[in-house]
Amino acid sequence: MSELSFIHRYVPATEPGRPPLLLLHGTGGNEDDLLPLGQIISPGSALLSPRGKVLENGMPRFFRRLAEGVFDEEDVRARANELADFIIEARDAYGLEPPVAVGFSNGANIAAALMMLRPEILAGAALLRGMVPLGDPPKTDLAGKLVLLVSGQLDPIIPADNAARLAAQLTAAGALVNHKVLPIGHGLSQADIQLCQTWLKALS
Ligand code: MLT
C-alpha cells in the first residue's frame, strides 16, 4: 500500500487491546522484512511497516550515513521528523493508537532518534542492536516511556560503550530502559524474540 507518504505494509489488528507495532527494518531491508517478527512477538497486534526512503547503493535505509557507524545527523533529524509525520498520517488513516516501535539496526537507530526528537509519537520502543543516532540530542521528556535495548556482546558493528551511551541518553530523558546484552553478534536470535515477547506482555 503506498498512498501515504511512505511505501509501507499495514496489517490490521485481530486482537483488540494489543499495542500497534511500528516495524523498522535494517539496512537493505524493506517493508516485508519484520512482519513475521511482529506476528511472533505480539500476535494479533496491528502492524505498520514502512520502507526507509534513503538508498545506499540501492539498499533502503531510514537515514544517510557517512560511513559505518558515522551518521549524517542533519539527515537523521530530517528523516526522523518525516517518519513522525508519516506515523501521524497512518494513525489517522487506520485509526491507530500511538505505536510501539520495534526496530532492527538502522531501524532501531531511527526509532531512538524519533523518541528523542518527537517523544509524543511512540508509546515505547524495542531497539534491537541500536546505537547512538544523535551525539547531542535535544532535551526531551520521555518520562515513563518503556524502552527495551538488546545488544550483542559480539556485535562487530556496535561497540559496547556506544550501546551503553544510548541507554544512558534515554534514561537521562526519563525513559525506563531495560538494556540486555546477549552473547551473540549483530544478527537477531531466538533470545531477541523471547525478550521482545516478555517486554511487550509487560507493556500491555
Ligand atoms: C546504521 O544505522 O547504520 C546501523 O547501525 C548499522 C546498519 O544499519 O548497518
21 vs 180: CA distance, rounded Å: 20
Residue nearest to atom 9 of ligand 1 (CA): 27
Residue 61 lies inside a defined structural domain of this protein: yes
99 vs 123: CA distance, rounded Å: 6
Phi, psi of 33 (to 5 degrees): -50, -50
Instruction: Give the number of domains in the chain.
Output: 1
**Which among 169, 107, 82 has a CA at the least distance from the CA of 132?**
169
pLDDT of residue 202: 85
pLDDT of residue 147: 98
Residue 3 lies inside a defined structural domain of this protein: no
**Catalytic residue at 151?**
no
Q: Sheet containing 21-24: which strands, arranged edge to edge?
A: 8-11, 47-50, 21-24, 100-104, 124-128, 146-152, 176-182
CA of 63 to the centre of ligand 1 (A): 9
Residue 27 lies inside a defined structural domain of this protein: yes
Residues of the chain with pLDDT under 70: 1-2, 204
Which ligand 1 atom sits closest to the C-alpha of 129?
Answer: 5
Residue 2 lies inside a defined structural domain of this protein: no
pLDDT of residue 2: 52
113 vs 28: CA distance, rounded Å: 19
- CA 17 vs CA 20, 22, 121, 162, 188: distances in Å: 9, 16, 18, 35, 27
**Catalytic residue at 105?**
yes
Residue 1 lies inside a defined structural domain of this protein: no
Q: What angle do CA 187, 191, 197 make, to 5 degrees?
A: 115
Residue 159 lies inside a defined structural domain of this protein: yes
Q: Which three cell numbers stand for residue 10?
A: 499495514
pLDDT of residue 3: 85
What is the total residue count of the chain?
204
Instruction: Pinpoint the alpha helices (H) of 47-139.
Output: 73-94, 106-117
Residue 171 lies inside a defined structural domain of this protein: yes
30 vs 106: CA distance, rounded Å: 12
**Catalytic residue at 186?**
yes
CATH number of the domain within which 163 lies: 3.40.50.1820
Q: By three-state DSSP, how is residue 172 classified?
A: helix
Structural domain harbouring 31: 8-203
40 vs 13: CA distance, rounded Å: 13
12 vs 14: CA distance, rounded Å: 7
Residue 17 lies inside a defined structural domain of this protein: yes
What's this model's pTM, rounded to 2 decimal places? 0.97
pLDDT of residue 195: 98
Which residue among the candidates 105, 151, 179, 192 is catalytic per the annotation? Answer: 105
pLDDT of residue 151: 98
